[in-house]
Structure formats: structure tokens, C-alpha cells
Amino acid sequence: MKTCSGLVQPLPVAMTRVLKLFLITMLVAASVFAAQKRAQAHESSPQYVDLAGWGRTNSFRIVWNSNGRDFMLTNRSWRLAFTVNSRQAEINGVKAWLSFPVIARGTNASIALLDIQKLIRPLLTPARNNSQRKVTLVALDPGHGGKDKGVETAGCQEKTHTLLLARRLQSLLESAGLKVVLTRSSDVFVELDDRVALAKRRRADIFVSLHYNSDGNGRGDAKGVECYCVTPAGAKSTNTRPDDNATTKAVPGNNNDSRNVLLAYLVQKAMVTGLDVEDRGVRRARFLVLRDATMPAILIEGGFMSAPDERRRLVGLERRRDLAQAIADGILDYKRLVERQ
């Protein structure tokens, strides 16, 4: 401190302490900021794999579209379509969202290793249950109920239609020899964690949550079906904004990553091939019922109640019957695949 006499005086003890405290606080803040930056950098720059090399090893050939952005890896059984700088992919014609965009330098395209491990590989070489582990009990979870109406539009409530869909699906699955447990069988409110707890208690082999969608913006122009499974650790969920720094840590549902995505893909495939609907793809989310499920789990959005023409169809008997049949077909495809010897 400089006095008006120009002499440098020692700082009072209390002020020295304040200064020290201030410096320590600044240092701690700087190191926390640096750690956050490092975490963000790690998240935004995952390990990438050269697709040409991966394709050769796995008997694929790459075919580029003349637009220089779209390309395909094809072999006798599979057609994997990608777009440079995009997270959207198509696997045998069914849309699936990658965790990270495909990147390219010229015609050298690369894909995140996480997407190979958590999407491509589980579909190309599906998991197989051991011979004692059959898929026999399905937990069906009609979304919402009681005081929680879900989407409400033009006199239609989501909770009513998820229950009607669940009952129809239950009868189809039971006719196919499966057992079904419903997380609710009437118009009652059930907490999300109680839904998962019931499935665990009853030792369900898979968990299937049923919902209808809303675009939430009042425009009513979004249409189509989606199937969610839990987001892999280290990735952001499909609908997360880029600036959202929600945690990407592993959750219990990640123990079933391979089976989650296989079930989601097969149900999405059955819906988009069995119905005349828009394919909004296999997506990732950390919804509580997916996050905490201890068995393979998916959440289906069976169409948009906010789109007037789609709503008219999906509240009708014919669409409900067809949608239930498609979901049942997807579940039975999954059962066949994981039980194969």
C-alpha cells in the first residue's frame, strides 16, 4: 500500500488474509474451470475409427453419392447409410441417431468408436442369451395415468391411449406365448420409479414403455414414430442441445446397452415397415425408466397427438391394432434373435 507520503507501508494482517483468501479462491476457480474445459474437450472429441479400414475388415464396400456428403457401406446383408457432419444414419433403411457426427476428409470418412460399439456392432452381431435365459415376461408400461394426463389435445388424453395400446399389445404377446405384467391396468397415477421397481420385482425380461408424442410448439407439423433406449456413457442424448452440459456418466441401464439398442432397433424397424408412418429413428435418452431399468428397456413414442391428422389415426382402433401388432412383431424378433443357439 502506498501512503500519500510516498512510503511503502506493510499491509495490515487482516487485509493480507483477505488478499490470500482472494488469491486462493481465484486459483481454485481457475482449476475448476480448466477441468470443466478438459471434460468438454474430451466429450466433444471422441475416438474416431476410419470407416474404409473398418469396412474392409467387416466385408463392406463404400459407395459415395456424387454429392460428396452421403455414402453407404454395403455387403450382402447390410446397408449402412451416413451423411458427413451428421448424426443421422440409416441401417437397412431404418433411421438411427449416432452419438457423434460422422466426419470426413475428402473421401476418408470416420465414425466415432462409441457408435461402432454401441450401435453398429450390437445390430450386426446381436447378443445371445445363454440357453436358460429366455424372454418370457414382458413388462408393459402404459405412460402417465391418473392426475398425470400426458399430452392433452382436442379432447384426447395420452394416458387413455397408452393404456388402450398396452391392453391390445398384452393380448397379442400372450397369444404368442409370452407373459405380460402391466405397470398400471387402470387410470391411476404410478410414480416412474415404482414402474421400474415393479418390473424388477417381477423379474421381467424386458421393459417396454408406451407413449404418444407432442411437438410442444403448437405448430402440429411433427409426425412419426420414435423408439428410445438409454444413452451410452460418454455421449449426449439425441434431443440434448449442444450447450447442455448434463452428465454423461454411466447409469444402471448401460449394463444392457447391446440388448437395449437391439430391442429398440427391431421395434422401430417393425413400426416403420408395418405402418405408413414417418421414421424419426432410434434415439437415445436418459429417461428415468430407461436409466434405472435392470433389464433391456425401450420407450416407444407411437405418433404425435399434436398433429391433427396423425392424432385422428392413432386414437382409432385400426391404427392401435396395427401399432400393437408392429410392436409385438419387434419384440418377437428380439426374442428369436437373443434366444438363437
Minimum Å gap between C-beta 251 and Zn ion is 20
Q: Which among 215, 209, 239 has a CA at the least distance from the CA of 305?
A: 215
Is residue 193 packed enough to be buried (19+ CB in 10 Å), middle (13-18) or exposed (0-12)? exposed
- The Cα 48–Cα 284 span in angstroms is 20
- Binding part of the chain for Zn ion, among 136-144, 177-185, 214-222, 271-279 by CB under 5 A, reads 136-144
Minimum Å gap between C-beta 30 and Zn ion is 44
Minimum Å gap between C-beta 25 and Zn ion is 45
Minimum Å gap between C-beta 299 and Zn ion is 9
CA angle at 78 for the pair 77 and 83, rounded to the nearest 5°: 165
Is residue 205 packed enough to be buried (19+ CB in 10 Å), middle (13-18) or exposed (0-12)? buried
Minimum Å gap between C-beta 165 and Zn ion is 12
Position 159 contacts Zn ion (CB under 5 A): no
**Stretch (H or E) spanning 207:** strand 206-213
- The Cα 196–Cα 207 span in angstroms is 8
Q: Which is nearer to Zn ion, 143 or 224 (CB)?
A: 143
**Using CB atoms, what's the residue nearest to Zn ion?**
211
Position 211 contacts Zn ion (CB under 5 A): yes
Q: Which is nearer to Zn ion, 104 or 196 (CB)?
A: 196
> In the beta sheet, which residues pair with residue 48?
112
Position 150 contacts Zn ion (CB under 5 A): yes
- Binding part of the chain for Zn ion, among 2-10, 95-103, 139-147, 169-177 by CB under 5 A, reads 139-147
Q: Which is nearer to Zn ion, 143 or 232 (CB)?
A: 143
Q: Which is nearer to Zn ion, 89 or 314 (CB)?
A: 314
- The Cα 298–Cα 301 span in angstroms is 10
Minimum Å gap between C-beta 206 and Zn ion is 19
Minimum Å gap between C-beta 143 and Zn ion is 4
Q: Which among 80, 83, 84, 81 has a CA at the least distance from the CA of 105?
A: 84
- Binding part of the chain for Zn ion, among 47-55, 108-116, 177-185, 211-219 by CB under 5 A, reads 211-219
Position 302 contacts Zn ion (CB under 5 A): no
Minimum Å gap between C-beta 305 and Zn ion is 9
Strands (DSSP E) contained in 40-151 are 48-50, 61-64, 70-74, 79-83, 88-91, 94-97, 103-105, 108-112, 137-142
Q: Which is nearer to Zn ion, 211 or 311 (CB)?
A: 211
Q: Which is nearer to Zn ion, 159 or 168 (CB)?
A: 159
- The Cα 192–Cα 288 span in angstroms is 7
Q: Which among 60, 67, 47, 138 has a CA at the least distance from the CA of 92?
A: 60
Position 303 contacts Zn ion (CB under 5 A): no
Q: Which is nearer to Zn ion, 84 or 282 (CB)?
A: 282
Binding test (CB under 5 A) with Zn ion, winner from 122, 142, 143, 145: 143
Q: Which is nearer to Zn ion, 87 or 319 (CB)?
A: 319
Other residues' Cβ atoms within 10 Å of the Cβ of residue 56: 12
Instruction: With CB under 5 A as the rule, give the number of residues binding Zn ion.
Output: 3
Q: Which is nearer to Zn ion, 81 or 282 (CB)?
A: 282
Other residues' Cβ atoms within 10 Å of the Cβ of residue 77: 8
Which positions lie near Zn ion, rule CB under 5 A?
Answer: 143, 150, 211
